[in-house]
Each structure stands twice: as C-alpha cells, then as structure tokens.
Chains A and B, each alone.
Chain A
Amino acid sequence: NAGVMQNPRHLVRRRGQEARLRCSPMKGHSHVYWYRQLPEEGLKFMVYLQKENIIDESGMPKERFSAEFPKEGPSILRIQQVVRGDSAAYFCASSEGLVGDTQYFGPGTRLTVL
C-alpha cells in the first residue's frame, strides 16, 4: 500500500517563475493537507482540501499561492511568481477524514528559488 507521494522531490526555480508541487494521497484517503517548513522553523499549516473543495485555507499567503484537489488526479500546490522567501520544504499529508484521524505525510518537495 503506497504511502503519500510527492513530486518533484527537489525543484529549482528562478525568481518570477511558477512552481507546481504535486501530491497523491494514500489509497482510500480523500483529505489532503499542505504544510510548509521554512529554514530553521517548524511546520506551518497552509491549506486543507477534500476532493474538489477547499475546506480551510487560513494558512495560505493571500497572493501568489493556490491549491486544488480535483476529482481525478493529484492535489496541486501552485506558487506563481516565486520569490526567494518561498524557498522551503513543502509537505503534503493525507487522511481518511474521520474525527481524530491521523495525517500521514509524504517525503516533501524542497523548493529552491534562485
């Protein structure tokens, strides 16, 4: 049973380019979460999605960031016009969506903005 998959594992972008990060949840999981870990900091919640719905985006920066989880395919975290401060590790987690359930994490995507 495959775990949470994220790709790419490493992504290098120049300032002003777009970054697309993909997350495939564990089999049977319909809830996806994105977290970001900036250098020397703890993980911070960004967004929580179910299929075709954004449930909580209270941690998303107001501009340039967007997320989706379509009916078919992986969840996508999109960062437009990247800046150096976007350099971080981006982690995706998935869960069944039950009360008190466990979030299982992928290996992360390390974004470097030059």
Chain B
Amino acid sequence: DQQVKQNSPSLSVQEGRISILNCDYTNSMFDYFLWYKKYPAEGPTFLISISSIKDKNEDGRFTVFLNKSAKHLSLHIVPSQPGDSAVYFCAPHAGNNRKLIWGLGTSLAVNP
C-alpha cells in the first residue's frame, strides 16, 4: 500500500524553463511535507517543506504548493538550472510520528 506516489519517474526540461514535480498521497494524517533532492551515491538533501496549515511555501527558486482536498502537492523550480538535475523525493510525515514516508522519486534532467 503506497501512501506516497510520484507518478512521473522522469522529467526533462530546458534550462531556464519551469520544472513541476508532482506528488500524491493517501494518508490524511500527514501534516508536514518535505522535498529532498538526491544525487547518485549521496544522501538526500533537504530542499523545502510545507505544513498542512499552508497552501504555499516559497524559498528562492523553489515553491511548493499543497492542495489538501486533492491530497496533492507539487514542487516548482523556476528557472531550472543544469545543476538541478537529480532525483527529487516527496516525503511527508504525520505530526509526532516522525518517520518520513517516501515516494519513489522523480528523476529530473535539466538540459542546457
């Protein structure tokens, strides 16, 4: 039973354009949603998070949108840069239950 789904295994965009990565979840108890970026043979790097009491959070080129009624969130990267090429993971958790539940990731390729 996969609680977190990232339905696009891969995404390719041109440098300078917007990258949109999507994540759907089934557990309505999730109240914190984190996005991580991961390069091969390295650990995940935290990017940005959002609490369930918000619908948008922005940090530089990264914006996360949360639609609780649809149980859907998305990460927008604009403008995309070649260095953004990595695998992106959506990882929510539910309040005091701190274990992060991970999607399978979306591999983003930003082409120069």
Contacts and interface: CB of A to CB of B under 8 A. Distances in A.
- Asked if A and B are interacting partners, one says yes
Interface of A: 4, 6, 31, 33, 35, 41-45, 48, 55-56, 58-59, 91, 95, 99-100, 102-108, 110
A103 B100 contact: yes
Given A4-B43, A43-B91, 16 more contacts: A35-B102, A42-B102, A42-B103, A42-B105, A43-B89, A44-B102, A45-B101, A99-B95, A102-B46, A103-B34, A104-B46, A105-B45, A106-B43, A107-B42, A108-B43, A110-B41
B89 A42 contact: yes
A99 B53 CA distance: 14
A48 B98 contact: yes
A107 to B, nearest CB: 5
Nearest to B103: A42
Given A42-B105, A43-B89, A100-B32, A48 B99 contact: yes
Query: Does more than half of chain A's interface fall in helix, strand or loop, or is it mixed?
Result: strand
A91 B44 contact: yes
Interface in B67-88: none
6 contacts: A6-B43, A42-B89, A43-B44, A55-B98, A103-B100, A105-B36
Nearest to A44: B102
**Which of A56, A103, A110 has the most B CB atoms < 10 Å from its CB?**
A103
Most buried by A among B42, B95, B99: B99
A107 B83 CA distance: 19
Nearest to A47: B99
B49 A102 contact: yes
A50 to B, nearest CB: 11
A99 B52 CA distance: 13
Contacts of A48: 98-99
Given A100-B32, A100-B51, A102-B49, A45 B100 contact: yes
A44 B44 CA distance: 13
B99 A107 contact: no
B18 interface: no
